[in-house]
Structure formats: C-alpha cells, structure tokens
Amino acid sequence: VRVRVRVRVRVRVRVRVTTMRRQSSTLLAAAVLCLAVGASQGDVDPACPLQFVLERPGAGFGHRISSLIVALELAEKQGAALYLVDDYWDPGDNQNRVDDYREAWDFIRVLPVSQAPYVPDALQRPRNVSMKHVLKELPPKGPGMPCGTRAYVSIGKPLDCGFKYCVFHYPGLFDRMVPKLRQLIDYDRLPVSQKVQRFIDEGKIVVIWHVRYGDIRIRIEDDVFDAMKARVDAELAGHEVEHLILVQRRKLFIRHHPDIRERTGIHFLRVHDAIGAFAELMRAHVLASTGSSYAFAAAALAPPGRQVHLMMPPKEARACKDPEVCTDDNKNGYYRGYFFSQNTVPLAWDGQALKGYEGKEAAMLQSMGASRSVPLDVADAHHEAWLQEFEPA
C-alpha cells in the first residue's frame, strides 16, 4: 500500500490555572451529583476539589473527541472533575454546517464549565503548567495540584498534543479511556440518518468504509480494497450486505478510482454534517477505518459487541506495511496510543489482519451476520503483548 501523507502542525500546549473559593457542603454535594451524571471520570475527593476545564481545540470533530480522551486521562490521574469550555463544540471561525458540532451537547454528557458547582475567584496571575508536567511529573491522585485549583487545559489540536506527547507517550491511552467515555454517551439521542436506518430496518448488514480524502489524503489501492471487501463478503455470505463509502471530496476520489462503483457495487454515503456522519459510523455493523482519528473516535464510541471495527494503522504509523513486519517491535507510539481492543480487528496497510487476529476477524463477522452482535469475550480479545505492560495494576 502506498500512503502519501504530508502533515504540518504546530504544537501549542498550555495550562492556565486559577483558584476556586471554598464552597458550602451543599455545593460539595452538588459536585458529587454532577460527577455522577458524567461531568468527569475518576475518583474525586470532595474534601479537595480540583477542576480541569478543557479548552476548545481548533480542529475537527474527531480531534475534539481525541482531546476529550486525553483530558479524561489527565483528570483521572489527578482525581479532578472534568468540564468543557462553553464553546467547546462550537464551529469556531469556520461557521458552516459541516463544522458545527453543538449537537454533541445532546449526547456527550460532559458538562460545560458554566454549569460547574464551583465559581472561581477573580482571575489571579496564571501559573503556567505544561501538559507534560501535569501528565507525567505530578503524582497521580496525590498532592500534585493544590486543593481548590481550576486548571484550563489547552491542547491545541490533539494531533499536536497527541502525537508530540500525549498519545505517542501514553501506550494504551484509548484502550483505557474509551470504556469510560462510552459511559458518558446517551445513545438514544444520537442523530439518525434515514438512509442507513432504512437499510438496518430492512435487515441488511451495513458496512461503512471511511476514507480521509480532504486536507489529508489517505490513498488505498484498489487491490487492497477489493481484497478486504472480498473477505468481509465471504464471512457474511448468505446475508444481505450494503456497502457504503464515506469520503471527503467525492469527485476527486472517483477520479482516482473511476470504476470503483461498477467494480464493487459500493454506494457513496452522502451526509452533509460531521455529527450526522459520525453517528452513522458509530451505527455501522462493520466499520473499516483507514487511518483517520475521526473514524477511530466513532468506532471507539460504538457500543461493545455491536460493531466490527476493521482498523488500519493510524496514518502516522507507516511501519505497519504488512502483517509480517507489523510486529510489537515496530508498533510505534501512534499505533499504541490509538489502539483499543474492544470491537477491533487491527490490520496492516495491505488490508490483512495482523498475526493472531485472523480468527477474531472471522468470528466477529460471522457472529454479526448471525445475530447483529458479537459476544463480548470475542469483541474484547487482543494479541498485543505490549499492552499488558501499560495496563493499570
């Protein structure tokens, strides 16, 4: 597989710290209630309140989800309540429908800071704390930050924080934090696309292929796509299957793959907003992600046992070119930070399941065909020897 990627990023990681007034026991009780409905994860000591407020990254929806996962790790390590700035899901400077993510407030239950039970004192002189300092050097769940601290955490693009430090240096980050983020999702309030829902109502198995083809183009060769699709169809033989592809810049993609519809029978999924497209990826019975954090984030939030996620390596993990060389020795920090075992079958860039996962791929697809679900012991299985080294004691 030939993958051509050019990435130019700037790193901007800072933490702005203020102090909070001590509040009454009533407000402390309100804080605990607030946490119970999803303001934060981790064990929060009401006698020593800490708040982390995640500022809005200037990036797309997948990046904002990735930032949230990093922030969950940060909050858990410090025993802090996590909130979002009030404009976290706003479209920002690019005021168009595709980049308007405010509907996420409806189904991702992390509260805006304006609903936090503590009111900060007048801003004092900020104390700068680097993300590396917070994540790595402060003792976890100990006297790292003074009681009553409210820290505004600015990650910039999670590609910056993530690949320069947070994700790259935190193997198993997604694997640890994704189950906790799922607890904050109200699945009943996800937007519904009539097109995909119609296929589901008709009893079809919906397979969605996500290919990033906008600001960064991830090229998937025709023979790789054809081989992956043939394996999926073989395991789902006897069932009605609908293959859909979600891709940016559809006309450019067709120019590079002019006969893909005639050759494969696949249809293009047209969803005009990022939230709607994200929800469709979450709902797919089978999701093939081809290296973009947007699709990784959607797969990560799909309910356990309700999706088969065929995961190509992150676009930065070029070492995993084929199953024979994609071993624990060269699965770099990008791969290890983004990998999560649940629902997932990791693939190399040639589209083949990595060593040890051939059986999981077949078992998950067959089970999805038979019952539209996968037993959790099968969905959870993994063969990542490196992951045990970083699992919490």
Which range has the top average pLDDT, 33-47, 215-229, 297-311?
Answer: 297-311
- Is the pLDDT at 303 greater than 80? The verdict is yes
Global pTM reads 0.81
Higher pLDDT, 203 or 387: 203
CB-based contacts of 79, cutoff 8 Å, min separation 6: 42, 43, 44, 45, 48, 50, 141
Long-range own/partner contacts, residues 190-193 (CB < 8 A, 24 or more apart): 190/107, 190/279, 190/282, 190/283, 191/103, 191/275, 191/276, 191/279, 192/279, 193/271, 193/276, 193/279, 193/280
Q: Model confidence over 341-389: pLDDT tens digits? A: 999 999 988 899 998 999 999 999 999 999 999 999 999 999 998 887 6
Look up residue 5 and give its two tokens.
């990627």
User: Can you spell out the DSSP letters for 294-341?
Assistant: HHHHHHHHSPTTS-EEEEPPPTT-TT-SSTTT--GGG--HHHHHH---
**151 has which bridge partners?**
17, 52
The model's pLDDT over 108-130, given as tens digits with 9 standing for 90+, comes to 999 998 898 766 654 344 344 45
- Given a cut of 80, whether residue 152 has pLDDT beyond it is no
The string of DSSP codes covering 214-253 is SSSB----HHHHHHHHHHHHHHTTTS-EEEEEEESSHHHH
Closest to 299 in 3D by CA, of 174, 157, 391: 174
Supply φ then ψ for residue 386, to 5 degrees. -65, -25
pLDDT of residue 341: 93
Comparing 44 with 311, which gets the higher pLDDT? Answer: 311
| Average confidence (pLDDT) over 188-204 | 84
Which pLDDT belongs to residue 214?
Answer: 65
Percent of the chain with pLDDT over 70: 73
